[in-house]
């Protein structure tokens, strides 16, 4: 699993972490709202449940982990241990460190491999779910394989002062379906929603906006609308109450009402579709023209 065990022994003077620390606010990776604090936190060694290491290997891991500097509260960090060339790329060993005061399970995250001059040697996306749940204030050793196709042959990578880091610049705005929608929508409709989100592009930074999908009057006089709720923030947004006004093609107010949506979460940098029903009692204009329509959040 870790190539450095082959050369770094218990009494070896070269026993050290060869890479640098690359820390970010956990909120920047997960979209959570808890920003990095000022409290300094040390991280305890944590092995994945499937990892089995010898007594000597455990000594090495504990020694290397104890050499790591403290982090700030609510950070995620990658601390490079060693890299080695493989037939199919470069294997990079690092500690994945978590100082959030709860377990963290990460998803697909783009990572960068940088040399001592911060020049980009490789970029690839890894499914960090494979790491399992990272305990609070923990440090988990892991190996990432950057495939040969991701490597830039023009960039030299020395054995020291390199880093592996979270890529926070390349996250693409994407569709995020609620679990109920994901289970019930046909695949064709899911793909159509993805195309719509891609065509719309990214919303403005630090903006939450609403784009209409469909509007229709039901037989009982109720009005149903489907919206794309687009989150341009680098954090998750939670909505409890949503007061909406519906306008038709003429710009007339058709209906308005407040929707209690509970703890409705729109993840960072994603678009979530949702439907709302205005009861007939809240409809102010009959025979509205929905060839073009819009919604506003009322104050």
Bigger pLDDT: 35 vs 20? 20
% pLDDT > 90, the chain: 70
Q: What is the pLDDT at residue 10?
A: 46
List pLDDT tens digits, range 207-226.
Answer: 899 999 999 999 999 999 99
The kind and range of the H/E element at 190 are: helix 187-200
Q: How confident is the model at residue 6 (pLDDT cuts 50, 70, 90)?
A: very low
Nearest to 193 by CA among 176, 207, 208, 217: 176
Q: How confident is the model at residue 204 (pLDDT cuts 50, 70, 90)?
A: confident
Q: What is the pLDDT at residue 25?
A: 87
- Coil, helix or strand for 78? strand
Which residues are CB-neighbours of 187 under 8 A, at least 6 positions away?
A: none
| Predicted structure pTM score | 0.62
For each of the domains in the chain, give its residue range(s) and CATH number, in order of start: 3-166 (no CATH), 174-297 (2.60.40)
Whole-angstrom distance, CA of residue 149 vs CA of residue 145: 11
Q: What is the mean pLDDT of residues 123-140?
A: 94
Residue 3 has pLDDT above 80, yes or no: no
């Amino acid at each position: 699993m870790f190539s450095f065990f082959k050369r770094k022994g218990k009494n070896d003077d070269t026993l050290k972490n060869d890479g640098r620390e690359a820390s970010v606010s956990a909120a920047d990776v997960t979209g959570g709202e808890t920003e990095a604090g000022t409290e300094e936190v040390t991280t305890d060694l944590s092995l994945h449940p499937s990892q089995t290491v010898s007594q000597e290997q455990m000594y090495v891991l504990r020694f290397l982990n104890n050499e790591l500097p403290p982090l700030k509260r609510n950070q995620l960090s990658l601390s490079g241990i060693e890299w080695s060339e493989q037939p199919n790329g470069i294997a990079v060993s690092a500690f994945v460190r978590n100082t959030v005061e709860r377990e963290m399970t990460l998803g697909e995250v783009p990572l960068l491999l940088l040399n001592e001059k911060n020049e980009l040697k490789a970029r690839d996306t890894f499914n960090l779910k494979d790491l399992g749940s990272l305990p609070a204030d923990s440090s988990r050793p892991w190996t990432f394989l950057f495939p040969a196709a991701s490597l830039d042959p023009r960039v030299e990578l020395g054995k020291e002062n390199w880093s592996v880091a979270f890529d926070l610049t390349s996250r693409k705005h994407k569709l995020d379906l609620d679990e109920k929608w994901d289970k019930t929508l046909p695949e064709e409709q899911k793909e159509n929603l993805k195309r719509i989100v891609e065509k719309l592009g990214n919303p403005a930074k630090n903006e939450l906006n609403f784009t209409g999908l469909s509007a229709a009057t039901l037989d009982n006089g109720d009005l149903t609308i489907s919206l794309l709720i687009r989150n341009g923030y680098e954090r998750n947004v939670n909505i409890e109450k949503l007061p909406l006004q519906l306008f038709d093609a003429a710009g007339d107010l058709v209906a308005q009402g407040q929707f209690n949506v509970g703890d409705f979460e729109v993840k960072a940098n994603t678009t979530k579709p949702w439907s709302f029903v205005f009861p007939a009692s809240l409809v102010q204009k009959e025979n509205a023209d929905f060839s073009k329509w819009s919604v506003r959040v009322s104050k």
